[in-house]
């Protein structure tokens, strides 16, 4: 998931130039990934690993732009996947690193291929463990079970709360007591929990206490504990000291290897979505700028969450006389990004830069209404702009039928 503008600081100038000057000639719409920021985030994560002895993985569900994996590899222990394709991507694009996979339920026909790529395989239920565990064990894999400590620390994000009542994610203690035989427990090498979403270490501390209360008798016989994702480690103000205290506590109390698998923290504030104004319309007292990007298609968390992303050179929900509602060109009435105030009036063709667009965008976008996929660029550490993709009509058509088209 992506989050609110309160966690998205405004942009600053780079190398003596404003961002609008740096990107003024770039074709829009497009995503731009900042390698420098990825490195900065990577260093923070690597320092946590060094000080605590934990291992940190990239959760590819948030950021899977593999052209940047070689840049991230020195800072991370490997990748986390949600299924076959992400497991294969991690194995291919971050070779020599660990590949962990968790899926709510594995498909029988895919499981043998997953075994080719994954080192750690985490199951969601005792039933899945019983079905696939021996096969994975015989293949030499490290086996885990996702647990549900039934400790909700989220407010207002029920769709992203794995501990919400009736959640399908993770094995509760009641389910454990009813279904986990000695034979199944003997298969396990570790436990996995993932309960956070863009949260600080105080919520991890609360969750870890609940894990100890519910599963403290099991942890001493495990080899590792995966504390999942949702740790906003690279956000300014995050309580890194408390995080490290939690990691050390688990390592020392239960003699465990500890894993974290953040997604957002790896690529937080490391990308932009560049767009231009196509038209400006008026409805009563609201001026609406229609852009060449769509919230629904290109940044779906803006609607799903919902949240208002930061915009370079503007303030969200401001009160100046130059206030506009930014919206997409699709037929969806709710294809709205948010209301922003500018120092000057917007004009057709103006370049705008939306921030924190490296996460949950390129991996979640779609072609609803026949909207083209924005190309992906990266700005290298040396400042060079490099285009990574060349999307066109074929990407839209090939998803919908058997006939292929060449641009």
> Given this model, what pLDDT does residue 254 score?
98
CB neighbourhood size of 403 (10 A):
7
CA nearest neighbour of 207 among 257, 159, 170: 170
Torsion-angle region of 332 (φ positive above 0: left; ψ -120 to 50: alpha; else: beta): beta
Residue 75 in 3-state DSSP? helix
Spatial contact of 78 and 99, defined as CB atoms under 8 Å apart: yes
> Given this model, what pLDDT does residue 108 score?
97
Mean pLDDT calculated for residue range 148-172? 88
* Structure-block tokens of residue 153: 């620390």
User: Domain 16-33+270-397 falls in which CATH fold?
Assistant: Lyase, Ornithine Decarboxylase; Chain A, domain 1 (2.40.37)
> Given this model, what pLDDT does residue 129 score?
98
Spatial contact of 31 and 271, defined as CB atoms under 8 Å apart: yes
Question: How big is the chain by its Cα radius of gyration, in Å?
Answer: 22
Strand partners, 336: 327
Sequence-distant (6+) residues with CB within 8 A of 247 are: 48, 52, 53, 54, 227, 258, 260
**Lowest-confidence region among 44-48, 59-63, 219-223, 302-306:** 302-306
> CA 150, 307, 87, 64 torsion: positive or negative?
negative
Q: Is the pLDDT of residue 11 over 90?
A: no
CB neighbourhood size of 286 (10 A):
11
Q: Is the pLDDT of residue 320 over 90?
A: no
Domains of the chain, residue spans = 16-33+270-397, 53-267
Helices H / strands E in the chain, number of each: 14, 17
What is the number of alpha carbons within 13 Å of residue 77 lying toward its C-beta? 23
Q: Is the pLDDT of residue 8 over 60?
A: no
> Given this model, what pLDDT does residue 13 score?
43
CATH for 53-267, among 3.40.50.300, 1.20.1300.10, 3.20.20.10, 3.90.45.10? 3.20.20.10
Spatial contact of 184 and 130, defined as CB atoms under 8 Å apart: yes
> CA 178, 182, 183, 184 torsion: positive or negative?
positive
DSSP characters over 345-399: ---TT-EEEEES-SSSSTTT---GGGPPPPEEEEE-TTS-EEE-----HHHHHTT
CA nearest neighbour of 277 among 167, 197, 352, 357: 352
Mean pLDDT calculated for residue range 169-191? 97
What is the number of alpha carbons within 13 Å of residue 138 lying toward its C-beta? 5
Mean pLDDT calculated for residue range 357-385? 97
> Given this model, what pLDDT does residue 156 score?
66
Model pTM score: 0.93
> Given this model, what pLDDT does residue 404 score?
62
- Residue-wise pLDDT for 260-296, tens only, equals 999 999 999 999 999 999 999 999 989 999 999 999 9
Measure Cα distances from 325 to 5, 207, 319, 331, 340 in Å.
16, 39, 12, 16, 6
What is residue 219's DSSP assignment? G
Q: Is the pLDDT of residue 345 over 90?
A: yes
pLDDT above 90 coverage of the chain, percent:
87
CA dihedral 258, 264, 266, 270 (to 10 degrees): -170
CB neighbourhood size of 212 (10 A):
16
Average pLDDT for the chain: 93
Buried (b) or exposed (e) across 229-263, using 16+ Cβ within 10 A? bbbbbbbeebebeebbebbeebbeebebbbbbbbb
């Amino acid at each position: 998931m992506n989050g609110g503008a309160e966690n998205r600081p405004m942009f600053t100038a780079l190398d003596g130039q404003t961002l609008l000057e740096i990107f003024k000639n770039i074709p829009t719409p497009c995503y731009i990934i900042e390698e420098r920021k990825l490195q900065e985030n990577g260093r923070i994560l690597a320092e946590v690993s060094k000080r605590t002895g934990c291992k940190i993985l990239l959760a590819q569900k948030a950021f899977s732009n593999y052209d940047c994996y070689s840049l991230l590899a020195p800072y991370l222990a490997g990748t986390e996947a949600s299924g076959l394709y992400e497991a294969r991507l991690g194995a291919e694009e971050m070779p020599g690193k660990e590949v962990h996979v968790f899926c709510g339920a594995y498909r029988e026909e895919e499981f043998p291929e997953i075994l080719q790529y994954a080192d750690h395989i985490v199951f969601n239920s005792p039933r899945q463990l019983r079905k696939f565990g021996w096969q994975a064990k015989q293949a030499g894999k490290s086996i885990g079970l996702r647990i549900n400590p039934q400790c909700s620390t989220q407010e207002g994000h029920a769709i992203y709360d794995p501990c919400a009542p009736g959640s399908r994610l993770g094995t509760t203690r009641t389910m454990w007591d009813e279904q986990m035989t000695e034979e199944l427990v003997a298969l396990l090498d570790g436990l996995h929990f993932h309960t956070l979403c863009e949260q600080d270490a105080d919520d991890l501390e609360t969750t870890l206490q609940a894990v100890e209360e519910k599963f403290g008798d099991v942890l001493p016989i495990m080899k590792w504990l995966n504390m999942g994702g949702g740790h906003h480690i690279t956000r300014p103000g995050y309580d890194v000291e408390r995080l490290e205290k939690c990691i050390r506590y688990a390592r020392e109390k239960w003699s465990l290897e500890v894993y974290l698998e953040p997604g957002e923290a790896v690529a937080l504030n490391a990308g932009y979505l560049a767009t231009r104004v196509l038209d400006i319309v008026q409805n009563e007292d609201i001026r609406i700028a229609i852009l060449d990007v769509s919230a629904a298609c290109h940044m779906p968390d803006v609607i799903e969450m919902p949240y208002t992303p930061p915009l370079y050179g503007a303030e969200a929900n401001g009160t100046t006389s130059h206030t506009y509602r930014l919206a997409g060109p699709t037929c969806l009435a709710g294809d709205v990004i948010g209301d922003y105030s500018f120092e000057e009036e917007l004009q057709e063709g103006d370049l705008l830069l939306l921030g924190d667009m490296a996460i949950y965008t390129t991996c979640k976008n779609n072609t609803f209404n026949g909207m083209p996929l924005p190309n992906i660029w990266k700005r290298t550490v040396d400042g060079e702009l490099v285009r990574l993709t060349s999307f066109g009509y074929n990407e839209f058509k090939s998803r919908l039928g058997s006939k292929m088209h060449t641009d």
